[in-house]
Structure 1
Amino acid sequence: MSENEIETSSQLQSADDLFAEHLQSRQINADRALAVVLALQWIFAVACAIWISPYTWIGSQNLVHIHVWSSLIGGGMLTIFPVFLAIYFPGQRMTRMIMALAQMQFSALLIHLMGGRIESHFHIFGSLAFLAFYKDPWVFLPAVSVVSLDHLIRSLFWPESVFGVLSPEPLRALEHAAWVIFETVFLILGVRQNRRSLWELAKLQSSLTQQRDLLEQRVRNRTSEIEQQRRILDTVLQRIPAAVFWRDNDGNFMGCNEMFSEFFGLKTPEDIIGKRMNDIIPPNDQTTNRLSSFCDSPDENVELVNIEETLHEFSGDCRIVLTGATSLHDHEGNCFGTLGSFLDITTLKNAESRAKSLANLIQESPNELYIFDSETYHLVEANTGFVRSLGLDPDNLSNVSPQDFIQDCSNQDLRQRISVAMSSPRGRCAFDTVHVRKDGTTFPVHVDIHRSTFEARPVFVAFCTDLSDSQAMERQLAQAQKLESMGQLAAGIAHEINTPMQCVSGNVEYLTMSYERIFQFTDGLFELLNSPSFSADTAGAQLDALAQKHKYNVLREQTPGAVEEASQAVMRVIEIVRAMKAMSHPGRQEMNETDLNMLIHQASIISRNRYKYVSELELDLSPDLPQIPAYGAELSQVFINLIVNAADAIAERKENEPELEGKITISTVENGETVEIRVKDNGTGMSEDVRSKVFNQFFTTKDVGKGTGMGLSLTYNIVSSKHNGTVRVESEPNVGSSFIVILPMDSHQSVADESDVNKSDTCRVPILN
């Protein structure tokens, strides 16, 4: 059903309700009026019976005529019940039907009381006309029926009471009924016409009512919309981040928003009404303020747009504002005032200045910075340091991608590396690589990449640090650390060499004496053989005497032992010297296959003098441990640092626990694709705070002069950056510590350390190759 059909149906329904309401109202009024008429007719009937009907005389007794009783009793019966219904049940169909019957019966009663006079019959027509007030054609049905039936019956049995004669014409009752029906027909037509008029009136009233309601609803809706728009505009005006005001042509303020009133120290926006610009703006601002000048003499054809000015707020602070103003016009186009505004951009200007300064610092930084698109991997922006370092054309950066200047790294490799790094909680990708300049030369760099947004598109920002000087300094530092370690171990190494050399010296002296005696024995033997007195019989005795004289048997027994001891002592010295040579060698520039067990054995030899007085060293080295690609000299430094660190921890604990039996255990084991080296001691151990800083540069718990804080830092750096391995520590105070070094068997393999995820940045050493 369409909207128009729904509206028409609603209108008809409303018209039906109004028609029924009006009809009901008229029928109720008719019931009440007819009730009054019945009461008056009753009184009239009694008066008529008394005045018109004579007394009956019977002898000396005076009796009331039967008509009086009929009028009194009959009229009462025809009046009381209909009046009761009219009072308590007005407007109902039953009430008006009974009213119609009663009224027509009253007509019959009055005709009877008047002796059937022809004038009395007009009461019937008057009653029918009165029933037309009900505007209900059905009330005529009982009325006409009862009148016709009354005339018919009384014309047969008591014609005098209805016609006034004893022998009326036979069809006179029908004639009367015909006249009644004749009038009734016209009355019914009139009633129908009245009902139709009442229906049209109801329709018109319904339409007017609906139009009135619709108009009232539209007025309410429009009023609500205007009020809502007013509230929205008021809210916007009060919440807009700009100071807004409006003035009349005479320069008087008509209003402002809260920000404007707060700017000039007013309690409420209403306090501005009636004031002038010079009442709130300092004189200095008035002379230089274009907004004030424009508002004092507004021009209908001129607008003030985005003019930067300086204003002093209520507190006295100088603020930079962006001003604007325009003329206000009424519906006829006449200018009646000015609308002005200003936006405080002091913070924005300061931020803009700071941003420009920072941008200049970044742009002029010698460190490389470049931004590349997260999808295409083409460069979006780069600073001067990057362009100069690589010798690129600043106007052609959009055609350059990282694979053009990162050695042996394609965009696909970089994408995979970044995606793996960004999935970690740290959300960063940092690695060491080599940049290739435009002329083909290379230099090492450390690249740190993170995700960001540049000009509304996702990008990656890369910060690059040239590692050329850093790596050279690191190599020098590592070499210095080696020499420092050698210097610290020099006294012990000298003692370790002195002991076997004393053994060599003693055995050499013994061998020298043995050499002289052996040669004396041989010389005596030759003299004896050449002596004339030498004979076969005395040869045995002479030889025994000669051997006994030079202690040949003793020399024969002890000389091999002396040679063996001297040989072992020399081998011990050679072993120490070789270990020192391997330790102090700068190391190769490339990895080579390295025997870790041998490096650990050499480190234990060199550092023996540091631990032999405080602990025992136990080597639990896997005999099947494979060789791995490594920098041997650097790993030797690592093992010496860990052994010395363990010996110092045990010595420190033995100061408080002299009965402690110190023990250092070094074990190696193959673990899948990695090799694990564990250096365990039963020294002082470390607290959680010390463990978090143990690999920091220059951090040490030793007394001043006993440690530089570089040993474990270099250890971490050598293992992590040079060998892609990990080193961690497990420790408990007063129990001991274990340093676990994990090295990959493949030089390109990286060993992930789960502890690194939660490790603070202060625990990490910068990666310097």
Structure 2
Amino acid sequence: MPAAITSTAAHEHAVSQRADGLFHQNQSDIYLRTDRLFAGLMVLQWIAGIAAAAWISPNTWAGAYSETHLHVWSAIFLGGLITLFPVCLVLTRPGSTLTRHVIAISQMLTSALFIHLSGGRIEAHFHVFGSLAFLACYRDWRVLVSATLVVAADHFVRGIYFPQSVFGVLSASPWRSAEHAAWVMFENIFLTISIRQSVQEMKAMSRQRAKLEVSNNRLSETKERYIAIFENVVDAIITISLTGTIEEFNSAAEKMFGYSAEEVLGKNVSLLMPSPFREEHDGYLARYLKTGKKKIIGFGREAVGTRKDGTTIPVNIAVSEVILQMTGTSESRRLYTGIIRDLSEVKENIELKRAKAELVDAKEAADVANQAKSEFLANMSHEIRTPMTAILGFTDILVDNVTGPENIAAARTVKENGEYLIELINDILDLSKIEAGKFDVEQIDCSPHEIIANVFSLMKVRAAAKGLPLEVRIDGPIPETICTDPTRLRQILINLLGNAIKFTETGSVELVTRLLNGASGEPELQFNVIDTGIGISDDKIETLFQPFTQADSSTTRQFGGTGLGLTICKRMAELLGGRVSVSSKIGEGSTFSVTVSTGPLESVRLIHDVVPSADESVVQAMNEQTETLLHKCRVLLVEDGPSNQRLISYILNKAGAEVTVAENGQVAIDKVHAEGIAGAAYDVILMDMQMPILDGYDATRQLRQEGFTGTIIALTAHAMVEDRQKCFGAGCDDFTSKPIDRCKLIAMIKTHFKGEDATPTGEQPAAVLFSELTDDEDMLEIVEMFVDEMPDKIAAIEAAIAENDLATLGVLVHRMKGAAGGYGFPTVTEAARLADASVKAGEEWATIVSQARAVVDLCRRIRSTAPAV
């Protein structure tokens, strides 16, 4: 309601403003026209006055001198003065108030002149009354006031001083002037009434015209707005008559149905409906005309429309009824306007949402299945790795202790097949993690020379067993360090070299490394594995990188393998920002190329050809030194498997440790309590994470809650990243997976063990103090350079500790983790890895400092033995 009141007030204001404008415009036009009328009239009067003066005066010509009568001169000069001034105002200031009043005064003076020229004849006085009537044409009663005052003054003055001029007598009563003025006033009264009525009529006409104009303007605006909405609305709008004839068809309707407006106007709306909607519409229209019952009007409903090309579209239609009253009659006309919306996109969106919902459900089901698969693989891994720990461990012991070629060969066969089984498990787990998108890679600084040396050391024995030479060549200088995942890169190279050795009977296998500029201009390191094996046909190359696929099905029977290796290599290389490609010829051999990004090389040295070699004596020396590494280290082994208890106890006892066994977590807690009361706490607890009664996770959490601060190393057959994080979350300090690697386990315990060293001061074990690359003459110079730089690295770490600079300390230990392994110091790498992990996990400052000092201590010991490097 307030909106309606506001709209009405605005309408009235607009009408009033326009009416005032029109009225003033009409007044101005009247003033201008009347000014021009009087200008012409006054000129004619001037001429007529001169003529009258000449005609009336009998003595215009006097004797032979032909003198002109004074009246003529009066008519000429006085009449000219009275006429010319108002005429000039009309020309210069038409329509002004001054011009009107000057004309009124001049007109009355002209009347006075005519009366004077006529000698005061009564007929001349009618000129006054006529002039007043003419002045009323201005429709301004104020003009009459000016004129009346002039007439009254003229009659009064001349009536006293010159009555013959105005009344034609020598003397006249003063009442005669009053009488004459009364008649003038009498006329003015009627003229004023007439003027006021005329002005009122002008105002009424102006208001009527203003109403019409405002209404027309609003109607025009409404029409334009309607047309704009009608033509630009997204929905189709169709107006039909009572008989169904189309009378309006907007642009949206043209687009929707494919018809132009000209094609459908005047035709029945059923043209746009398919059967049976057409018959339904006709029936409904007939029933509505008969009964007046509404079924569609005022309600929305879904229907189907037919396009010009014959296709149908789903629509929603809402119909409204409009009754138009015919002007001047009592008849009315009914129109029906339908607003039609194309539901095609809505239907598609509904279908899309349904498909998305199904996809989400399918994804959730796939995630559940994937989780179930991951849990299954993890459990299978646990079930297989647990017995494999004992098998491989005791086989390793047998290899070192049995005598006789046949016994040694048998033991080694068991070990090799066990290692192959573990490799197969790892491949399946890797592929599962890659497919699930949970395969993690890291980007750290590492030495490509060290990676090549390690791979060469591992694969040389396998190649030698087949009588094949394994050659390593570096083609041109390569970076001293690159930024990649060394573990994954090593895994790729081992797999490709393993395949090359497996499928090559004669000839050789070669690993060639070179530095390249990638397509994007970024540096890349390329590793080419070249063999002289059986080769691969072109039609089989495309299938090589599919899971569980080999070039020939007979290959599996002849050489073994699952066909997972190349799939894993390809996907790992892609995760490292690289790629794997292959070229091959049947009977001549194959070349597998791995290209990985090196990362920025601005401050990295390029080192020329360095060919690594391996000497089993180094490994043997390291194994011999393990017997005293854990001297006086008290270890609590928490393991439920009897075979693993015996194996791990044997390994640790051989390394000098004192081992106590607990078969589950509850027994372990009881033993920790008992030893704590006796004042002989354990240095390290090896905690199997899956045990009966109380598993390793709960046992670790309970020990931490009760204040045990010693080292707890998780021992589990699970190999997933999530399992490692779960162990750390329970409170473990480190993590190792089954089957147990003897050297790795001893090195890990040694890293955490803070007791006395088994070796006298100044004599450190080779596994800790000497580089694995000591016997490689080509690498010796590089290793010495690394050892020479250790004092600077030690000083930088100690400075970061002194300044409590966590960020710098994290960078330093992270770099040491990548660099130390590249120069053959795995124990330093392991110690730095622990410190780096603590920094990233947000451990307490004291813990990080302790682990960083362990890195510094190892570096100092290595530096102290520099002459022996």
Shorter-chain TM-score tier: 0.3 to 0.5
Give the alignment's TM-score, normalised by structure 2: 0.41
Tell me which of the two structures has the higher relative contact order, counting C-alpha pairs closer than 8 angstroms and 6 or more residues apart: 2
